[in-house]
Structure 1
Amino acid sequence: MNKIFEVPLYAYQRSPDQDTASSVRHKVIVIGAGPVGLAAAIDLAQKGVPVVVLDDNDKVSFGSRAICFSQRSLEIADRLGAGGKLVDKGVLWDAGKVFFDNRQVYEFHLQPDAGYAHPAFINLQQYYFEKALVERVRELQAEGAPIEIRGQNKVEAVGTHNDHVKLEVETPEGPYNVEADWLIACDGANSPTRRMLGLDFEGRVFEDNFLIADVVMQADFPTERWFWFDPPFNRGQSALLHKQPDNVWRIDLQLGRDIDPEQEKQPENVIPRLKAMLGEEINFELEWVSIYTFQCRRMERFRHGRVLFAGDSAHQVSPFGARGANSGLQDTDNLCWKLKMVIDGDAPELLLDSYNRERVEAADENIRMSTLSTEFITPKSDMSRLLRDAVLDLSEHYAFARPLVNSGRLSTPCAYSGSSLSSADALTGPEITRPGSACPDAPLGDEFLLPKLAGKFTLLTIDADAPDSIEEGGVQATRLALSVKDDLTLELKRRYLGDAPGAVYLIRPDQHVAARRDTFEENAFRQAIRRATGKE
């Protein structure tokens, strides 16, 4: 058993709040020290916002859980100060293979283009992700940043008020009360916060059950994503194989509908299934086993007054496609700069409604893609299965059929078409950088573009004139001037310029495009700043 599960990373310590007669008010409290909650806390602390994280545990999550982290998540982790550590530990992969019955029908590559600082995906157990973020918290604390984690602090009650939220917290030494100007709930799919506020999910729960197992073994399988439809070792069902660090392999096996979950998790039932898949000659140990069902659901709204929901507490999708944790990290990336502006008085509270609007759109996109994957993987009728199998047969020989195969459309960042960003002018330019989209990386000599866009409003010009900065309503956008003459790879031109002679972009602090035009037009960009900051 991996010892990391047993080590308290943020052991209980009595806080001064427990020794005061009245409730202490904090600027922001985050509930949950998983990847999403820690990311939110680190982001806020780096912006100078005091934040306290409450968690009923004091260790990393047991089992690998989320394992597949996207390029966008690594870019976000870079801004949090942990990206390099995650990539160094993770297993990099780019290729995937799809099998039907006992034959390979095709393979794919995720990132055929060069010019990105990070790979398309890494595989990394969630406990390592959490550990890296806790270590980043300790670094920030050593630098004097206003961030605190309180382990074994279980929130038992939440009371909402117009200007704050009140919490009742249970600890090993008894209860205490605490208040927050703002509360961010990152307490998982079974969110106690959501339940205490009388809120619920909307959406679908699918009936098929899946066995998920972390297996420690020495194996010669390549570092690729392998997905089987109707394999001989799991006839009529599906299977997935992924490599993780430390010779741990993630295996997902579809089991069907009418099963006894507790019985199926027992080693005497799991091991024969794995031997049928891996071969009798392969020696392995079970590290973690669980049973899950597909759920494609979300809250109606992610903001409820002073309480903001993020990650699994706000939305759930099936694990095929790696849309859960990656989407949660994008939630916090969207939220924290907006909350900072509201706290500082640089934007109205209305700006936080754009967090709800944009991330609900992203959740709906993820749910839609996840539902399509689920329906392809688990057809609900004989006719659906016949059609699915025909697509798989065709995909072996004909390229046109391969995009129709759906073993889990892998996570990509949402372009916020439904937000105010879509009304900002975009006269010409590539689709990949239309308003609302997340900025793709691009090489700039020995450096990359995205680190130059982090944490602030940027006026990005490419072969176009503009002032060094513009200020609108107390918000400043600073110019970053680039030229395709310095773009030896031509990726900057392809991703940001296209056929236009020049381009001017307004980039938000979360590296999403707020506006794009061929030339700098002051009134248009001032209006774009107002829209992006909730003032219009």
Structure 2
Amino acid sequence: MLNTYTFPEYEYVCSDEQKNGTIKRHPVVVVGAGPIGLTAALDFAQQGIEVVVLDDNNTVSFGSRAVCYAKRPLEIWDRLGCGERMVEKGVNWKLGKVYFKDKLAYQFDLLAEDDHKMPAMINLQQYYLEEYMVDECLKDDKINLCWKHKLISIKQMDDHAVLTIETPDGVFKMEADWVIGCDGANSDLRKMVGADFTGQFFMDRFLIADIEMKADFPPERWFWFDPPFHRNQSALLHMQPDNVWRLDFQLGWETDPEEEKKPENIIPRVKAMLGDDVDFELEWASVYQFACRRIDQFRHGRVIFAGDAAHQVSPFGARGANTGVQDIDNLGWKMKLVLEGKAPIGLIDTYHEERAFAADDNLLNSTRATDFITPKSKGSRFYRDAVLELAELTDFAKPLVNSGRLSVPTPYVNSSLNTADEDEFAGLMVPGTNCADAPIKKDGADSWLLNQIGGEFMILVVGDKPQDSVDAGVASAKVVSIGSDLNDVKGVFADRYDAREGTTYLVRPDQHVAARWRGFDEAKIIAAIARATCTN
């Protein structure tokens, strides 16, 4: 039990196929109803795919767990119907401060520019996040949430998988065209299919302590290296909703995790950090060791892995759940085209191509942050401390400070699905990049670009549109005019997309740029859609 949250209890229902002893084939079965599994359910359902979600529990995650959610995942959840609710409840922040001993060494702004619907980052306890997504899932009859359904074995065939499920009413079997593994870093499904999960474990431990207190600290990320209250270690403070604050304390490898979780050992640490006169209650605590590793292949036969089941990073930089949500964003539209028989299974394999590339980028950033935060040698420690001291005095050292590079999307710049530029463009919207938001007007009403695109291929044309759609066989792409259909009222779209009269963007269903040209050419658009769907 927590002081500030009452956990919902979802009803276990014995399925008709278990009652009748029949084996039913489902298009997609998702294993795990955490943030990534629930995102998968919502995304697949929005694509028109019926989906079954299996979870061996019947409530949301205990403890705040993941806390920081970045702009891009919030944009994805907004497309899935629950982003605004998350932002309304969460603590919106974009400023971070880094302290060395008792001095401010460095500060940063995650989103210095305006004109984005979603904030740079929110802090929200994971149980709220999951609760909101479950509420959204319950509205959609294409989603079947199966609580207290534990996967105990899987057998793969050429075109489907057979799953053996344990419930309070016994054991039964179901079939699935595709199985999506979202069952976390210790994934049983990954072990069942014999997938390799390799990388680096870090020989250090950290204490998470969530406390309830009223304080006038601003909603910022505060990180300390070697503070007076926790010498030779690091510490972190974040604000969460409901007057709950997340505290992280580096412990060192030699500490006893069970001892460190005891309130009588946590409370003195909190008082040393905040002062003896601060009134607080301990809400939840955990001790963790972390790793940077990933799966060998994101697809193993008919099983596809996402989130922590596919890759695991250190918590510094909030790259875990944020990355997993982008996995699903990449997979859903590809799965739809393959299930409909419009695209080959090779399109599913580009999920590994693009998301393994992103995972490796996140692993690199996570490893660098960990090495800076927890130096492994005297030389590394000397370098880190020198950087922190110089950052107080000079600008050149500030970018070298690394308390965790906060999660940002990884552009698929080398993806085989991209059509390379043949015209000159400025700015960041290169093929393979997720679309930047921009304020627009539609039918005279204020809106946002990202609320008008996504879920299907779309062609954005600046100025008059020569036709209403382009039929590429595998997909029919709607043509939208930036000028008549959507009004770039502040010129933000033109600036961010280096757009002028005739500029044409082909946007994938996951709101990523597939191709762009300085003029509208139907044949080139059809070829680019074919390339983006592996049907060329």
Q: TM-score, normalised by structure 1?
A: 0.96
Deviation at 1:483, TM superposition (A): 4.1
**Which one of the candidate residues 415, 431, 435 is aligned to 1:419?**
415
Q: Which residue of structure 2 lines up, in the alignment, with residue 344 of structure 1?
A: 340
Deviations 1:284-321 (A, max 9, x none): 11111111123110001111121110111000001111
Within a 5 Å distance, the mapping from 1:167-246 to structure 2 comes to: 167-246=163-242
Deviation at 1:231, TM superposition (A): 0.6
Structure 1 residue matching 2:387: 3-state secondary structure = helix
Q: Which residue of structure 2 lines up, in the alignment, with residue 439 of structure 1?
A: 435
**Which one of the candidate residues 290, 295, 299 is aligned to 1:299?**
295
Cα distance in structure 1, aligned partners of 2:352 and 2:11: 33
Deviation at 1:422, TM superposition (A): 4.0
**Which one of the candidate residues 310, 313, 322 is aligned to 2:309?**
313
CA contact (8 A) 1:17 1:24 kept: yes
Deviation at 1:2, TM superposition (A): 2.8
Deviation at 1:467, TM superposition (A): 2.8
**Which one of the candidate residues 349, 356, 363 is aligned to 2:359?**
363
Q: Which runs of 5+ in 2 are unaligned?
A: none
RMSD (CA atoms):
1.7
Does residue 519 of the first structure (1) align with residue 519 of the second (2)?
A: yes
Q: Which runs of 5+ in 1 are unaligned?
A: none
Structure 1 residue matching 2:511: 3-state secondary structure = coil
Cα distance in structure 2, aligned partners of 1:464 and 1:386: 61
The amino acid across from 1:233 in the alignment is F
Deviation at 1:265, TM superposition (A): 1.1
Cα distance in structure 2, aligned partners of 1:16 and 1:488: 53
Q: Which residue of structure 2 lines up, in the alignment, with residue 155 of structure 1?
A: 151
CA contact (8 A) 1:426 1:435 kept: no
Does residue 164 of the first structure (1) align with residue 160 of the second (2)?
A: yes
CA contact (8 A) 1:416 1:437 kept: yes
The amino acid across from 1:196 in the alignment is M
Structure 1 residue matching 2:246: 3-state secondary structure = strand
Q: Which residue of structure 2 lines up, in the alignment, with residue 276 of structure 1?
A: 272
Moved more, 88-97 or 4-13: 4-13
CA contact (8 A) 1:5 1:59 kept: no
Deviations 1:45-64 (A, max 9, x none): 12221111110000110111
Cα distance in structure 2, aligned partners of 1:30 and 1:458: 28
Deviation at 1:21, TM superposition (A): 2.9
Moved more, 129-138 or 23-32: 23-32
The amino acid across from 1:492 in the alignment is F
The amino acid across from 1:351 in the alignment is L
Cα distance in structure 2, aligned partners of 1:114 and 1:426: 31
The amino acid across from 1:61 in the alignment is S
CA contact (8 A) 1:10 1:150 kept: no
Cα distance in structure 1, aligned partners of 2:286 and 2:533: 43
Q: Which residue of structure 2 lines up, in the alignment, with residue 40 of structure 1?
A: 40
Deviation at 1:383, TM superposition (A): 1.1
Does residue 264 of the first structure (1) align with residue 264 of the second (2)?
A: no
The amino acid across from 1:527 in the alignment is A
Runs of 4+ residues over 6 Å off in structure 1? none
Larger % of helix: which?
A: 1
CA contact (8 A) 1:361 1:418 kept: no
CA contact (8 A) 2:235 2:250 kept: yes
Cα distance in structure 2, aligned partners of 1:361 and 1:131: 31
Deviation at 1:463, TM superposition (A): 3.8
Cα distance in structure 2, aligned partners of 1:529 and 1:149: 34
Cα distance in structure 1, aligned partners of 2:6 and 2:17: 28
Cα distance in structure 2, aligned partners of 1:202 and 1:427: 41
Q: 1:380 to 1:501 in 2, by over 3 A?
A: farther
The amino acid across from 2:90 in the alignment is G
Within a 5 Å distance, the mapping from 1:372-451 to structure 2 comes to: 372-425=368-421, 427-445=423-441, 446-451=446-451
The amino acid across from 1:124 in the alignment is L
Q: TM-score, normalised by structure 2?
A: 0.96
Structure 2 residue matching 1:65: 3-state secondary structure = coil
Q: 1:359 to 1:41 in 2, by over 3 A?
A: same
CA contact (8 A) 2:505 2:513 kept: yes
CA contact (8 A) 1:421 1:515 kept: no
Deviation at 1:249, TM superposition (A): 0.6
The amino acid across from 2:132 in the alignment is A
Deviation at 1:234, TM superposition (A): 1.1
Cα distance in structure 1, aligned partners of 2:70 and 2:287: 24
Cα distance in structure 2, aligned partners of 1:256 and 1:508: 45
The amino acid across from 2:113 in the alignment is D
Cα distance in structure 2, aligned partners of 1:297 and 1:469: 43
Structure 2 residue matching 1:400: 3-state secondary structure = coil
CA contact (8 A) 2:193 2:300 kept: no
Cα distance in structure 1, aligned partners of 2:154 and 2:5: 29
CA contact (8 A) 2:208 2:249 kept: yes
Does residue 93 of the first structure (1) align with residue 89 of the second (2)?
A: no
CA contact (8 A) 1:424 1:528 kept: no
CA contact (8 A) 2:209 2:247 kept: yes
Q: 1:480 to 1:244 in 2, by over 3 A?
A: same
Cα distance in structure 1, aligned partners of 2:130 and 2:242: 16
Deviation at 1:92, TM superposition (A): 0.5
CA contact (8 A) 1:5 1:60 kept: no
Structure 2 residue matching 1:478: 3-state secondary structure = strand
Structure 2 residue matching 1:128: 3-state secondary structure = helix
Structure 1 residue matching 2:535: 3-state secondary structure = coil
Structure 2 residue matching 1:430: 3-state secondary structure = coil
Cα distance in structure 1, aligned partners of 2:333 and 2:489: 33
The amino acid across from 2:76 in the alignment is I
Moved more, 483-492 or 397-406: 483-492
Deviation at 1:427, TM superposition (A): 2.3
Q: Which residue of structure 2 lines up, in the alignment, with residue 72 of structure 1?
A: 72
Q: 1:397 to 1:421 in 2, by over 3 A?
A: farther
Q: Which residue of structure 1 lines up, in the alignment, with residue 495 of structure 2?
A: 494
Cα distance in structure 2, aligned partners of 1:7 and 1:18: 28
Structure 2 residue matching 1:256: 3-state secondary structure = coil
Q: 1:269 to 1:15 in 2, by over 3 A?
A: same
Cα distance in structure 2, aligned partners of 1:324 and 1:347: 30
Cα distance in structure 2, aligned partners of 1:426 and 1:113: 29
